[in-house]
Structure 1
Amino acid sequence: MTTHAALTHSRALEVARQALTVEAEAILALGPRLGEHFEQVIQLILSCSGRVVVMGMGKSGHVSRKIAATLASTGTPAFFVHPGEASHGDLGMVTPHDIVLALSNSGESDELNAIIPALKRQGVKLIGMTGRPESSLARHADFVLDSRVEQEACPLNLAPTASTTAQIALGDALAVALLDARGFRAEDFARSHPGGALGRKLLTHVRDLMRSGDALPRVAADLSLLEMMSVMSRKGLGCAILVKDDGQVGGIFTDGDLRRLIERGTDLRSLTAGEVMSPNPRTVAVDALAVEAADLMESARITLVLAVDEQQRLQGAVGFNDLMRAKVI
């Protein structure tokens, strides 16, 4: 093995850039090769009453795990089975209702080829993703996804690099096409990602975070300004909300509004809540996603929005700090 002492920074950059170019070209070459077989694979998976079982050995095995995870998180039930373990009992995880997606760049993986007869006896449909359409895997597969590359990104053209990148990209294309065909929505995606920031943004609604009931600083139009200030102080939301007799929002008065009155030298003792309210406060539907409330606050440069029902009746209020505590923002 040669020493690395002769490797210069310029050489390292040249090799790295060439590797990226080779892999980018490998991905771009996949598109024109997609055709009728790809569409048939999509229809086959959509009509499957079982799951997609993804298999592969070595580097293809690592890619298989990723493809299975992507499919499962985008509406297509899927899981990974190691071909070597399948020969020693794990094949029992595969049912006749399932579909097997087998990955092998050469198409000659001994472990995969060993279990193909058993899969065929069960009547399991087999999709082969391979770089060699003339391989054993391709000959026995019901459908073939062509993942061949002209060369590996490895300077020796040996290490699986461009070929595994092509497999990942083709797997992503499959998952995205299925996602679109199923009408998969952001809300559906969030249900399989409830634990992270994405889940919080897509699953948390305004009603989950808002202050409501006695926590709201509700006031009537004829309440004196001094009495309204007392309500604001007790509720601690930094505002008072004018509520009409029918429950609809009539206006809002904030700490900022109070400061501006004081700066103008206004006689606070002579004013009522109705006289100082700002009409048409920013509102959001009570069933809206919390992230929508965050977007409204950001665009309007405010720190609180009111939650209303379909009749514009006050249901609650959600502030910037509420969104922060829930890690929506």
Structure 2
Amino acid sequence: MFSSDTDDSDLEMLTQLSDWDDTDNELEPGDHPRRRQYQRVNVLVTLNDAEFTFRFRLNKVAVEFLLTEIMPYIRVTSKRNNGVSPLHQLLLALRFYALGTMLISVADFVGVSKSSASRIVADISAAIARLYDKYIYLHVRSAEKFFNIAQFPRVSGAIDGTHVHIQSPCSEIGEEFRNRKGIFSINVQAVCDGDLKLMNVVARWPGSTHDATIFNNSILRASCETGALGNQWLLGDSAYPNRPYLLTPLLNTATPQEIRYNEAHIKTRNTIERTFGIWKRRFPVISLTMRLSLPNIQKVIIATAVLHNICRTYNIEEVPPEVNVPCDAAEDPDQLPNMELNDVENRTELIRHYF
């Protein structure tokens, strides 16, 4: 769908919109403050598709497609020259996701102030996050793909948590966000399918929160308990409680069947780690320390999750990060196992009759 050969004329037309922002500081005596004019570079012309994808993480046609989807939710505040065009707002946000750097750096990209860049990133992230239900949803179509990994039957998805590093929110609640490694973070719960697409993302819990607590208080758990997965399972690590719909590894193995179960479980569950890796490499903003307000951080996390699924759905080329992304070893290790109320009957039967 997102072919580089597609006509870019609609996008080129949008780039004709330009804007003004800062006041010129060099004034002669008696002069009135003047607005500085910015001539924005038409990156759709100056960059080829590979260069464009490298800088913005989506190709040109994908940007056009995304722009049409979020257009109803984008605002233009300035009356002069129609303000920052919707296209340039989207490109600024994508550039921020790609760099994960200070807002002033991406503000310079389209010639706006830092405060304008902050507002644009928040607005565009909120607009993309509105597409959550369209691109991120629970389904049971991945059992065969999961089975092909390590012959683990009836798997719908793999679940885990990953920490998105943030600056300390404030002295009053800051310690709630300090995780077990002493780093301020949001603990993001996610579920992936066999295509490494996200089926569920929860991005509102402080870094000190246990994975099991997030799951037990989630809509996902309620959906699973009402039979949303049918006769299929989620696979989670030992941080989660074993349930009829969520299988965890054995802490101690004593038989060949138990060993085979654990080995197949680990190999199959590794899909969520691979998903995290692809998501964070494509959008390094969630690999580095975010310096935004908590509500805006949550918007960015959900927005990049939606974009990750769009990229996976339409096979958009995976490109290397433009900045250094921390390796997987920097992630928090699995949290201590939660052994409360573990339901082991289904797991025991599976091991006895299948493995």
In the superposition, the TM-score normalised over structure 1's length comes to 0.22
- Which protein, 1 or 2, shows the higher relative CO under an 8 Å CA cutoff with sep ≥ 6? 2
Larger radius of gyration: 1
TM-score, with structure 2 as normaliser:
0.21
